[in-house]
Amino acid sequence: MALSDYRFCVVGAGITGLVYAERIASQLNQPVLLVDKREKLGGNSSATIDEETGIEVHDYGSHIFHTANETVWNYISQFAAFNSYRHHVLIHTCGHVYFMPINLKTIQEVSGKAFTPDEAREWIESSTNGSGEPRNLEEKAISLIGPDLYRLFIKGYTAKQWGRPPSELPADIITRLPVRMTYDTEYFNARHQGIPADGYDAMFRKMAGTPGIRLLLKTSFSEIAAQLSRDCTIIYTGMIDEFFGYCFGALEWRSLRFERETVPVRDYQGTTVMNYGDETVPYTRIHEFKHYHPEWEKPFNAGKTIIFREYPMAWKPGLEAFYPVNDERNNSLLRKYRELANRHPGILFCGRLGAYKYWDMDKAVAMSLEGFDALARRRYER
Ligand code: UDP
């Protein structure tokens, strides 16, 4: 089939692109092109099984599938069985290690008091000034946890992560983190969690293997765009501003750099993710991937382990984009790009990059399923 015969082209084989391509092929019974400039599937959630150790390494840092959305869970479970991993995060700060997110145990350790849930709440409330609507991340965090916990757990980590003081960041970033007045130390509230039992790559290959999908890896959209027919619907999961040649200026992103090390010990840090709260430590966290698969006994028990130290950095063209900076300036720039995109109804901008939204994998799946339904309805009505 010639490229010009395709009625659907999905640009980007990350989780969003994979869901769209799979739905178009399996539900609309339409052939679909799936194009990605990288040689691997999964976008920034891709993973590789290390040849030497057998450890599954998340190429762009830890990705844990977690969701409270039954539709999303039922959908993704068609492509993988998940192991029983439940995510826990610890934070190394001022010489101690605590459980994140902040919970009753963390509060007791910091305060030195064996508080009940109500006493812990009172302790926090007595230290917050409680005045007015929080205008930024710092004010929001202090209103939730008080200044002491803020200084230990949020201030340094957030300044390193976002490259600016929390007082200059939008408040909603911090609402990703729960605060719990219980001894529950799980990182996510989501009922469903896990890592694909055979690894992420096997799951992504199963999605991309849906009959009707023609996969073109190591191919950039610009190489094939001229060959597509005018009535080909394009699902574009790359950056919206890049697509339009940055005509209104570039949206701001945070990027990351990972320093990889194979360490000759069985267990480096005893857990998957250790955050570092002190600003004097230049990285934000260390990932130790073997802990995501304790059931993979051979790599788990072997005398070597693979870690990534994660260093946040400013994004510039040519670097990988990880986190959108959804402040007022960027969101108003985004509105301009969206208006421009509305004048191109044959192109849908989707996914974390296309929508410029700080989405987890499950949210990307949910948005893609909804987006696909809207696309299918539109086609049916035509
Ligand atoms: N955060 C923090 N301290 C931590 C963990 C997170 O201050 O130990 C803040 C930080 O601003 C971060 C945000 O909470 O950007 C969201 O954290 P999350 O773990 O959800 O980030 P992700 O895993 O998506 O990088």
Q: What is the pLDDT, as a whole number, of residue 252?
A: 96
Whether 158 and 103 share a structural domain: yes
The Cα 215–Cα 34 span in angstroms is 5
Q: C-alpha distances in angstroms, 188 versus 19, 65, 88, 158?
A: 23, 10, 8, 19
List residues with catalytic annotation. Answer: 176, 180, 254, 285, 310, 358, 360
Q: Which residues are registered as beta bridge partners of 256?
A: 312
Dist. CA 104 → ligand 1 center (Å): 19
Q: Do 222 and 123 reside in the same domain of the chain?
A: no
Residue 130 is predicted with a pLDDT of: 66
Q: CATH number, domain at 32? A: 3.40.50.720
Task: Tell me: do 108 and 223 sit in the same domain.
Answer: no
Closest-CA residue, ligand 1 atom 3, reads: 154
Tens digit of pLDDT for each residue in 331-364? 999 999 999 999 999 999 999 999 999 999 999 9
Cα separation, 265 vs 302, whole angstroms = 8
CB of 120 within 6 A of ligand 1: the answer is no
In a domain? residue 287: no
**Domain ranges, residue 28:** 3-44+202-251+323-381
* pLDDT value at residue 204: 98
Per-residue pLDDT at 379? 75
Same domain flag for 241 and 328:
yes
Same structural domain, 126 and 208: no
Q: Is residue 335 part of a domain?
A: yes
Do residue 100 and residue 169 come from a single domain? yes
Output the pTM of the full model. 0.96
Kindly report, residue by residue over 217-226, the tens digit of the pLDDT.
999 999 999 9
Domain count, the chain: 2
Find the mean pLDDT for residues 256-274: 98
pLDDT of residue 74: 98
Residue 154, ligand 1, Cβ within 6 A? yes
Distance between CA atoms of residues 281 and 298, nearest Å: 33
Percent of the chain at pLDDT above 90?
94
Using a 6 Å cutoff on CB, does residue 250 contact ligand 1? no
pLDDT over threshold 90, residue 183: yes
Mean predicted confidence (pLDDT) in 139-154 = 94
Residue where a domain stops, chosen among 133, 156, 173? 173
The three-state secondary structure class of 21 is helix
Whether the predicted pLDDT of 55 surpasses 70: yes
Domain annotation covers residue 65: no
User: Can you list the alpha helix ranges (DSSP code H) found in the chain?
Assistant: 15-27, 70-76, 104-111, 117-127, 137-149, 156-162, 200-208, 221-224, 240-243, 297-301, 328-342, 351-355, 361-381
Average pLDDT over every residue of 215-236:
97
| Per-residue pLDDT reduced to its tens digit, 95-110 | 999 999 999 999 999 9
